């Protein structure tokens, strides 16, 4: 039983290491934005939206930041999370 668990864990580990990541900076260098310290790109809204459409990304989540972090505060910014469509 212990050998089976080790084999399954090893296969899971290999699977995790072999998965592709689509959000790398290599394919997105042609757009006028800068890479931040986190895996975030910032740029002009219309250019970002066009690039996301061209690269087949879809929005999967949106989060709003509010003034003074109050639950009923005015919306100060939004963060949208995208994922590759393929």
Q: Which H or E run includes 32?
A: none
Domain boundaries, the chain: 24-84
Those residues whose C-beta lies under 8 Å from the C-beta of residue 78, and which sit 6 or more positions away, are 62, 63, 64, 65
Sole residue written with tokens 């790398």? 24
Q: What is the pLDDT of residues 7-31, one digit of tens each?
A: 776 766 666 666 555 555 566 667 7
Those residues whose C-beta lies under 8 Å from the C-beta of residue 43, and which sit 6 or more positions away, are 31, 32, 33, 34, 51
Sole residue written with tokens 């963060």? 79
pTM value?
A: 0.49
pLDDT band at 51 (very low <50, low <70, confident <90, very high): confident
């Amino acid at each position: 039983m212990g050998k089976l668990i080790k084999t399954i864990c090893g296969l899971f580990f290999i699977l995790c290491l072999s998965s592709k990541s689509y959000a790398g900076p290599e394919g997105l260098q042609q757009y006028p934005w800068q890479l931040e310290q986190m895996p975030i790109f910032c740029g002009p809204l219309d250019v970002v939206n066009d690039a996301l459409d061209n690269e087949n990304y879809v929005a999967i989540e949106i989060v709003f930041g509010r003034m003074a972090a109050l639950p009923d505060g005015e919306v100060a910014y939004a963060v949208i999370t995208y994922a590759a469509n393929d």
